[in-house]
Chain A
Amino acid sequence: MSILVNKDSKVIVQGFTGKEGTFHAEQCIAYGTNIVGGVTPNKGGQTHLDKPVFNTVNEAVKTTGATVSMIFVPPAFVGDAVMEAAEAGIELAVIITEGAPVKDMQAAKAYATKHGMMTIGPNCPGIITAEECKIGIMPGMVFKKGNVGLISKSGTLTYEGANQVCNEGYGITTAVGIGGDPIIGLSYKQILPMFEADPETKAIVMIGEIGGDLEIQAAKLIKEQITKPVVAFIAGQTAPKGKTMGHAGAIVSGSAGTAKEKMEALEAAGVKVVVSPAEIGKAIKEVLSK
């Protein structure tokens, strides 16, 4: 078991024939992802990486029965691509592209929600169900199959966390990188209950960062709905106020969105909060050997 995607998920790639799209689609196929085709306008009818190319998402969905799309189009076209996927009946769009304008994402997410399409990202590493299906840009070899679900705003902290979990002799069910932009798709609120419902997932690693209040909302939800042990790390305890730390959404505005406030809320919800990402592996070992 896993959440959201598995070896049977039929995936298309929007921005399939571009440099990034090509490189990462190839890696995903090598990992075992069932990529059934891709979309690049005006290249319909061609074959790329031994998969069919379509002009529109609609055509790709009708022909291949794809339900998931991995989006690599340039930032200015992300909004358009997400709405196209929603209109075509895609169920989950994983948006890897970095630098999409906030206004476009706002409109695209509202439209996706209206059409019942889930989104992950933008500006994220994607989602991986260990040893089955990788939709994104993470290094596949880090994610060994196991019983820990992982959700993170940060790409490299996803790898760091998964690596430590695996080094302790455990493994990953599914890892989701939700991205750190001001407007993102699926977040803790939706994904934590999925891990709770997944029989294979025995513990959850949750990685957050400064800015916004998604982690505070998550703390409330954990207290009410999550019975599985959760280990959390919040990046940016040493970040100065009013400065954007790499991710567009990672900013402490005034007194809101600090690491401290988030860590306290999570601790109060019964979460095992670690002060350094170097302690994620040990913490998982501790909660799972109880």
Chain B
Amino acid sequence: MNIHEYQAKQVFAKYDVPVPKGIMVESVKDAVEAAKELGGPVWVVKAQIHAGGRGLGGGVKLAKTLEEVEALADEILGMTLVTHQTGPEGKLVQKLYIEDGADIQSELYLSVVLDRKLEMPLIMASTEGGMNIEDVAEKTPELIVTVPVDPSIGFQGFHGRELAFGLGITDKAEQKNIITFAQKLFKLYMELDAEMIEINPLVKTGKGEFIALDGKMGFDNSALGRQPEIAAMRDLTEEDPDEVEAAKYGLSYVALDGEIGCMVNGAGLAMGTMDTINHMGGTPANFLDVGGSANAETVAKGFEIILKNPKVKAIFVNIFGGIVRCDRIANGIIEATKITDVNVPVIVRLDGTNAPEAAEILKNANIDNLIVGDDLGDGAAKAVAAAKGE
């Protein structure tokens, strides 16, 4: 789960990680009030959406007068911001963060992520702040400092020294500042079950202090149960409504661009089904994992979500029953065709636990546009043909 910049900065402030003063607003009027309260002399008006690259997309601008704050707030609020992370459809800006301008001497980069190879958190830093870190990693990897921190010993002095010297910081007061900054950040990363924290840019002020000018945080979904304060920060308007709806029924759904709706049990087989369709010349319309406890209701919900997409020309139900019993899925399909108007061909391939019973149930149901697939390859081929109207 991701949170907004203004929320990340609230979290930082709670852990004493320095951030500029700022206020989140949802109207132009409040934006001006916030600017007055902050006092100026300069302000930054920032679009709050869950995507990087906001500045380049025109969602972050500097204001030198209250009139400019008003004009910029009016311009940015309600705009559809397109960045390299939003996709071409962009995201509607519903919240702004009005922030004090900072005294910037230099811009750095700092993040904490899980290193899957080392199986421990990794602090990454670079003197190339404000840039896309992947570009830096590709072109000038020597400018990135990486410091893995084993949680069983925690953040030690040597971690801090590696970081400070790695960044070429020679002033002793500045060294102390960056080390303290990173130490606090690591503490909150661990305590709050964060998945990643990224501060880009982290700025050094004229006084040699370090401030988080931006803040991006993601959390481990599996740990939200024990992080109620973080869970409460979830902004559902930032998420795909179909994905949210699907999740309520234990379905894992991701919309894609193609024409063949997929309903599959298991994430790996669901991806494998998409790949097979693609390989056979078709295009998958979605990823949908019905999970281990699929029943008539969840299958019906799956059909409903898939059919919301007007591009869908056929549906491929591909189930390899382990814990999921195929007869239950078969009944689910029959129920679903009663509840939902399934107006496209449905190709069904059921294998594994109770597959013969399931085949019998489907045969007896006599559903018009239902086609049986013998195995994965056969089912996918039939789905591709059906989507082409063959």
A interface residues, Cβ below 8 angstroms from B: 75-76, 99-103, 106-107, 109-110, 125, 137-139, 141-142, 152-157, 159-160, 163, 180, 182-183, 207, 209-210, 212-213, 217, 233, 235-240, 242-243, 245-250, 254-255, 259, 275-279
A21 to chain B, nearest CB (A): 13
The reply to whether B223 and A103 form a contact with Cβ atoms under 8 Å apart is yes
B interface residues, Cβ below 8 angstroms from A: 85, 114, 116-117, 119-120, 134, 150-152, 190, 193, 195, 220-223, 225-226, 252, 254, 256, 264-272, 274-280, 284, 287, 289, 320-323, 351-353, 375-377, 380
- Closest CB pairs A-B (n = 4): A154-B268, A246-B267, A156-B266, A278-B377
| Given A235-B268, A246-B270, residue A156 in contact with residue B322 (CB < 8 A) | yes
Give chain A's interface secondary structure class: loop
Which of chain A's residues have a CB closer than 8 A to the CB of B323? Answer: 137
A144 to chain B, nearest CB (A): 14
Q: Indicate which residue in B225, B254, B320, B352 contacts A245 across the interface (CB closer than 8 Å).
A: B254
Which of chain B's residues have a CB closer than 8 A to the CB of A163? Answer: 320, 351-352
Give chain B's interface secondary structure class: mixed
Q: Indicate which residue in A137, A153, A242 contacts B268 across the interface (CB closer than 8 Å).
A: A153
| Given A106-B119, A183-B116, residue A246 in contact with residue B252 (CB < 8 A) | yes
The reply to whether B85 and A242 form a contact with Cβ atoms under 8 Å apart is yes
B277 to chain A, nearest CB (A): 8
Which of chain A's residues have a CB closer than 8 A to the CB of B271? Answer: 154, 209-210, 235-236, 238-239, 245-246, 250
The reply to whether B287 and A246 form a contact with Cβ atoms under 8 Å apart is yes
| Given A153-B268, A245-B267, A276-B377, residue A76 in contact with residue B278 (CB < 8 A) | no
The reply to whether B119 and A109 form a contact with Cβ atoms under 8 Å apart is yes
The reply to whether A156 and B265 form a contact with Cβ atoms under 8 Å apart is yes
Give the distance in Å from the alpha carbon of A275 to the alpha carbon of B375 in the complex.
16
Interface hub of B272, B274, B280 (most chain A Cβ within 10 A): B272
Which of chain A's residues have a CB closer than 8 A to the CB of B150? Answer: 110
The reply to whether B320 and A276 form a contact with Cβ atoms under 8 Å apart is no
The reply to whether B320 and A159 form a contact with Cβ atoms under 8 Å apart is yes
The reply to whether B275 and A236 form a contact with Cβ atoms under 8 Å apart is yes
| Given A237-B275, A238-B274, A245-B270, residue A255 in contact with residue B134 (CB < 8 A) | yes
